Chain A
Amino acid sequence: MTKFKIYLSVILLPVMLSILSACSEPPAKNTRGVYMLMDTSGTYTKELIQAQKVINFILSNLNPGDTFAVARVDTGSFSEKDIIAKVTFEDRPSMANQQKRAFRDKIDSFVKSVKPSRYTDITGGILQGIEYLNEAEVGHNLILIFSDLKEDLGKDYIRDIPLQLNNVSVVALNVTKLRSDNVDPREYLDRMAEWESKVHSGGGTWRVVNDMERLENILTF
């Protein structure tokens, strides 16, 4: 009888463990991935202090298992070199907090030493972001564009590429009005409409948040 019980336990234990493991869900389903593009071209570098606040806000709201990357938008942004800092937060909350602090320090040092770029390749940055988020395999994807959305490509750069933004939310932050926009607001409106149609045609969702005091909604997917 005792032997029978031992055999039964030996058989039942792996069965129960396999049932439990089958019940567990992959963590990716509940995790979030945020890729933030920071425009460092021309006079927009002055706005980077605001970007820092946004980054800190996002850091304080992300949880263990989430992924976050901040990249700069410069002349050619479709490159891993433009990623300033990236992190996938550890399972343990204490470790995640340490990672958040380290991330913040990295961004601080970048903002202090940033030099304005000559051109603005936003599309390249988005392409890089899509690639990064696809590799991260997270449940919800978000691309934040901290820019005036005025794309200015260098010579020979080809960016009329359709974006693959399925299951990706795109949020434009702090879209400042340029001097020319003030002269002719249609320019600004056309620019916004163009980006919106670009994102929608790629299968993504588009939002604009210009009030930096109302950041609560940017992390809604």
Chain B
Amino acid sequence: MTFQHYRQEVLALTMRWVRRLSREKFSMLFTLVQPMLFWLIFFGSLFQKAANIQILQAPNYMSFLAGGVVVMTVLNNGLAGGVDLLFDKENGFLERLMSTPIHRSSVILSRYLFVMAITGMQILVILSIAFVFGVRLETGLPGIAVILAIGMLFGVGLTAISMGLAFSVKSHGDFFSMLGFLSLPMIFLSSALVPLSAMPGWMQVVAMVNPMTWVIDAVRPLIITGWNAAIPQVGMAFVILAIFDAVCLYGGAKAFRRAIG
């Protein structure tokens, strides 16, 4: 196993994901557009008047929501990251891949490269749309780089959960119901839609142990407040994500080994 071989495998496999996406133009469009349209524009406009600016501590609801939508996109992409491997497992394609002399990890790495690239692009599109709607990033371009870095780090763990689940479940019905079970509470029991201070006490407690809250609370000040408020939050998010990723990668790797041998 040389580095050249490894690179060749990962490239060939990543190319496959890209080709698949280019064949599913509609699905691509909807995945890209859905978070912006549904969450950012509809939800953002809907709650504009209902939201209390004092509680939000943001110029308006949409600028408050932008950070939440960025992280929700990372969440959805990450949790869906294992879906294609699940179908590969079910229709025998994975077995075909595994019967070739590739390093077992190249399939996983190719998936990561693809999911991360798509997520990164989506984050940029969301921030651009928000810009069109008047949301000005307080930390500018370096802030975008930090948001991307945080998003990627969160995505690593989430994708590991998704792939681990894909390798462990008996049927894809199980997979999708578990995904649905995970994703909505992750969103509602976090600071994505309202700040922690506006939640009932018990919800605050649950939201505090949700890694998503920590990630959003680091992204949001980068958008609406500025570096001074953001830096401690970003530092905290990196620490929490390091732990989160380590746990998820460990579990994911275990599930992968059990399934692939």
* B and A form one assembly: no
Chain B: residues with CB nearer than 8 A to chain A?
A: none
Chain A: residues with CB nearer than 8 A to chain B?
A: none
